[in-house]
Amino acid sequence: MTTDLRHLLTRTADIALRYLETSGERPVARGVSLEHLVAALGGPLPAGPTDSAQVIESLARGADVGLVVTNAGRYFGFVEGGVVPAALAADWLTSAWDQNPAFFALSPAGAAAEEVCRGWLCELFGLPETSSAGFTTGAQMANFAGLAVGVRHVLTAAGWDVEADGLFGAPEITVVVGEERHATVDRALRLLGFGKRHITAVAADDQGRMLAAALRDALGDGPVIVCAQAGNVNTGAFDPLREICGIAHQHGAWVHVDGAFGLWAAATPSLRHLVDGVGLADSWATDAHKWLNVPYDCGIVLCAHPGSHQAAMTLSAAYLTRTGSRDGTDWTPESSRRARAFAVWAALRSLGRTGVGNLVERCCAQARRFAEILSANDQVAILNDVVLNQVLVRIADDDERTRAVAAAVQASGVAWLSTTVRQGKTALRISVCDHATDDANIAAAAQAVLRAVAGNL
C-alpha cells in the first residue's frame, strides 16, 4: 500500500462529504453516455500499481457525471430509497470490518446484528416473533428465497422428498399470482423451474389488487403456492392479505407476500390497515434499501416456518465450521456475502419505531402533495388512488405528451421520474421513497412537471 491509510480514508471521507453536501444542487441525472464514462474510467489495464489516493481521485473524477443523485430528495424513479446517516456510516464500517456473516465463526458480530434485526423487523411488521430472516441482495432474491421455501414446504407436506428427489417427477404445484405481480416474481419462479404455463394469474381490480374471489377459483387440489403483494409497483395498492391468507390456508397453500416497499406500511398505525392480515402469511420479501433508506444492497426474506426455511437454504461441507449458533447462509440462497445487517441495525436503532413510521408517513404525504399540485392543472390526470407513495400521472390523455414530459423533466436535472404503461395508458410514475424529500423538493419537482406540460422546461 503506497498511501498512508489514514490519509486515504480521510481524503475519501472528504470526497464523500463534498458529494453529499452539494448533492442538493447537482442535476439529479445528466444525459451522459456509457462511452463517455468508459473513456473517463477506462484505458488499458494498468501495468502496475497506482497510488491509492490517486486511484480514488480518478474514480471520483471519472464517475462524477455518471452519478444519479438518488438521496437528495428529488429522485422519484423506480422505488429507490435515499440513505439515512447512521446507515451510511454503518455501511462504511461494514466495509472496513469486511465481515462475512455466512457463518457465525466468520463474524459473530454480523450474526448478532442479523439476529437482533430479525426480531426488530418481526415486531415492526407485526409478523410472528419466531419468524426467521435472511439478508439478501434485494427483494428479487428475497422473493426467490421465500418461494423456494414454499416449494419445499408444500412438496414435503405432499410426501415428496425434495432434497432427495428434486423437482423432476414431483407432484405438480399450482402457483397462483396476482395479474399485477412484480416482474421479479416471474423471474424467481422461472429460476425455480416454473414456466409461464405453470403460473395462474388471478385478475386484479382497477388499482391492481388481486381479486380474492377469483383466487378461490384458481386453487387446485394439489400443492399450492399463492404469491400476494403488499405495494403494487405502479399504484402502491395492496392485495387483500387477510382474505387471501384465509382462502389459501383453507387449501393448505403457502402464502408468500412480496412487500418490497409496501411491507413498511406496517410500521405506522396510520397505514397499518393496508397490510391487515399480513402476519398470517408464510413468507415475506422486503427491501431495506428502499423505504428503510439503507445503502444498496439489502433485501430481507422472512419466514413463519424457520425449519422449512433453513432446510430449503442450508448447505454443508466438511471444511465449513459450524458452531450451532446462527449461520447466515442457512437463511439465504447465498454463501459469502456482505454483512448487510449492520446498516439495517443502524437505521432501525437511529430511527426507532416512530422514526421509521414518520419516514414512511412523510413520503406518503409528499406523494399526496405532488398529486395535489399536479392535479390543479387541467391537462393532468392522476390515474391511481394515492394510498401510499406512488403517483401515476397522465398528461393530456396522450401517451406521447406524457413520455415527452418525462423526458423533459429528466433532461432538466431538476428531478427524475420515469414512465410506465398501465391499462394501456402511458403515465408518469412518481415514487417518493427518500427521507430527504421535503416540501421544497416536491414544489420544485412539481413545477418542473408543470413547466414541461406547458412546453417551457
Binding region for ligand PLP (CB under 6 A): 78-79, 138-140, 182, 184, 231, 233, 258, 260-261, 287, 299
Residue 223 CA to residue 243 CA, distance in Å, equals 19
By C-beta, is 138 or 277 nearer to ligand PLP? 138
Q: How far is the CB of 66 from ligand PLP (least distance, A)?
A: 20
Q: In what order do the strands lie in the sheet with 418-422?
A: 380-382, 390-395, 425-431, 418-422
Please check whether residue 225 is in contact with residue 176, taking contact to mean a CB–CB distance below 8 angstroms.
yes
Q: How far is the CB of 143 from ligand PLP (least distance, A)?
A: 6
Neighbour count for residue 85 (Cβ, 10 Å): 13
By C-beta, is 184 or 412 nearer to ligand PLP? 184
Q: How far is the CB of 216 from ligand PLP (least distance, A)?
A: 24
Q: How far is the CB of 399 from ligand PLP (least distance, A)?
A: 23
Q: How far is the CB of 298 from ligand PLP (least distance, A)?
A: 9
Residue 253 CA to residue 224 CA, distance in Å, equals 5
The single residue listed with the C-alpha cell 428502499 is 290
Stretch (H or E) spanning 303: strand 299-303
Q: How far is the CB of 250 from ligand PLP (least distance, A)?
A: 26
Instruction: Kindly write down the DSSP assignment for every residue of 218-284, as one continuous string.
Output: H--SS-EEEEEEBS-TTT--B--HHHHHHHHHHTT-EEEEE-TTGGGGGGSTTTGGGGTTGGGSSEE
* CB closest to ligand PLP, residue no: 138
Residue 413 CA to residue 365 CA, distance in Å, equals 23
φ, ψ at 201 (rounded to 5°):
-100, 125
Q: How far is the CB of 193 from ligand PLP (least distance, A)?
A: 20
Short-list 243, 264, 134, CA closest to 178: 243
Residue 227 CA to residue 334 CA, distance in Å, equals 22
By C-beta, is 23 or 286 nearer to ligand PLP? 286
By C-beta, is 263 or 408 nearer to ligand PLP? 263
Q: Name the burial class of residue 433, with classes exposed (0-12), middle (13-18) and buried (19+) by CB atoms within 10 angstroms of its CB.
A: buried
By C-beta, is 140 or 410 nearer to ligand PLP? 140
By C-beta, is 160 or 331 nearer to ligand PLP? 331
Instruction: Kindly write down the DSSP assignment for every residue of 362-413, as one continuous string.
Output: HHHHHHHHHHHHHHTSTTEEE-S--SSSEEEEEETT-HHHHHHHHHHHHHHS
Q: Name the burial class of residue 192, with classes exposed (0-12), middle (13-18) and buried (19+) by CB atoms within 10 angstroms of its CB.
A: middle
By C-beta, is 79 or 312 nearer to ligand PLP? 79
Q: How far is the CB of 231 from ligand PLP (least distance, A)?
A: 5
By C-beta, is 188 or 414 nearer to ligand PLP? 188
Stretch (H or E) spanning 177: strand 174-178
Q: How far is the CB of 182 from ligand PLP (least distance, A)?
A: 4
By C-beta, is 231 or 357 nearer to ligand PLP? 231
Cα separations (Å) of 163 from 28, 128, 314, 452?
49, 27, 11, 57
Q: How far is the CB of 159 from ligand PLP (least distance, A)?
A: 32
Q: How far is the CB of 184 from ligand PLP (least distance, A)?
A: 4
Residue 5 CA to residue 15 CA, distance in Å, equals 15
Residue 308 CA to residue 300 CA, distance in Å, equals 17
By C-beta, is 78 or 92 nearer to ligand PLP? 78
By C-beta, is 78 or 97 nearer to ligand PLP? 78
The single residue listed with the C-alpha cell 426474506 is 301
